Structure 1
């Protein structure tokens, strides 16, 4: 379990503390043409991942990952986003991107959705509107990111950040809706 923080979750190593937001984390390669799976951290992937968009990257120093990647292709394949980049022509190059975070500038003029670092403090509700706690932050994991929620009884729950369990993140309305399977909120008690 993660100890609840009193403020926004600090950025992971290599992610700027200000000026940018993480919009996705690159996962494993898909196919032989340099496509990768991504874990999405934005409410509008169609716009964020439009062909031709240049996204700054955050990767460990010396990893060889380009500082900027230009989207060559973007598609949703069976519920998983696949991205191809002009700079990455093959599977070998795609493998080198694993774990890289894709960023977007803080000053995006048309921002109306959410970024991971804006979630801290939002109330968390069940689908019927019952409040269960507040977002403490986001755990960025190698295989699955999790929403960290401080429950009203003081315990902390790690909620897998997948649409089936976290169907609504509404930053403008100021809340998150979760639909946890039985027992998920009881883990760690």
Structure 2
């Protein structure tokens, strides 16, 4: 399912939001509440917004920019936008200064985290593996829509003759076994 972020009242809990931020090795200095007066929707921001648009799409949401306009010296750095949106994904964003609404921030006012965070973790907050790993390979991120359509095209021949619940169960069982075999080590396969 593709989230179009049309429902402005959808959000995660503040407790979960803070856990996501602290799992990334960051500390929460500010917890901002952004309220939309006409709809009554409210969102909390602590580096990332509880609407999860920054985590899912890799770009800051409208709630962040509303806070950025109103909160003096709230920093914005290009690293808040995921590298997949850059024309040059290998660009060194660390050298780009952070800005607030009215001015450029000096390095003492804003420092980037020194730890590298795996991009997979940024898109999968349930991942509990170690996040101090090497940077991801220099590959092109594939849009979710492309993944969906390619998988659909690959599965279509497998489901061509399926008409009963038993046939569906057999197919799912076969796919489950295939996935299990893929996760076995070479020594376990022998």
TM-score after normalising by structure 1: 0.27
Q: Which has the larger radius of gyration?
A: 2
More contact order relative to length (CA 8 Å, sep ≥ 6): 1
Greater share of strand? 1
TM-score after normalising by structure 2: 0.26
Greater share of helix? 2
